[in-house]
Amino acid sequence: MSDPARVKADLVPYTQEYSGVVRSWIESEETYQLVCRGINFPPPDDIVDSWQRKGVVSYILYANQKPVAYGEIWERPVEQAAEITHVLVDPYKRSRGYGTKLLELLYERAATRRGVARVLVNLYHQSPEALGCYLKAGFELTGTATHIAGLKMMRLVEK
């Protein structure tokens, strides 16, 4: 695995032109279930666009002039928090530090938002790779998710 600090990549705002590319990264029933909690593979063509709504800001991680990962920041104002969701890495780029880099950059964006004291991530499946990625990005295990079985992770905002 690559050191995420050495991964050269930048976030760009998601636009509909990336919909097909991001959807193509949902390459298996397992990925569909893990990332989207979907049950009827393959996912609909418009699945990524269906995630776009008020209170959600979506990003593409670009490396070597190509999109390599996708993630979202959801507003959680009542909790004084932001939540990172729908983290998805191109299957041919996994285990190279891109997921960790994406999480670090999303954390930085979320942490600068007014009223955000912590950034949350929920892990709804048993994936040692995802757990390791979240831990490397500075998130700490804080308990179990409340609405769906899984782990709740958090990183406090340092201001």
pLDDT for 103 equals 95
- Domain residue ranges of the chain, discontinuous segments joined by +: 4-156
Backbone angles phi, psi at 40, to 5 degrees: -110, 85
> Hey, CA dihedral for 111, 115, 119, 121, is it positive or negative?
negative
pLDDT in tens, 73-124: 999 999 999 999 999 999 999 889 999 999 999 999 999 999 999 999 887 6
Would the pLDDT of 149 be above 90? no
Answering whether pTM is above 0.95, one says no
pLDDT band at 150; cut points 50, 70, 90: low
Confidence grade of residue 15 (pLDDT, cut at 50, 70, 90): very high
In the prediction, which pLDDT does 39 show? 84
Helix and strand numbers (H, E) in the chain are: 5, 7
What is the CATH class of 4-156? alpha beta
Question: Is a pLDDT exceeding 60 seen at residue 5?
Answer: no
**pLDDT one-digit tens code per residue, 40-66:** 899 999 999 999 999 999 999 999 899
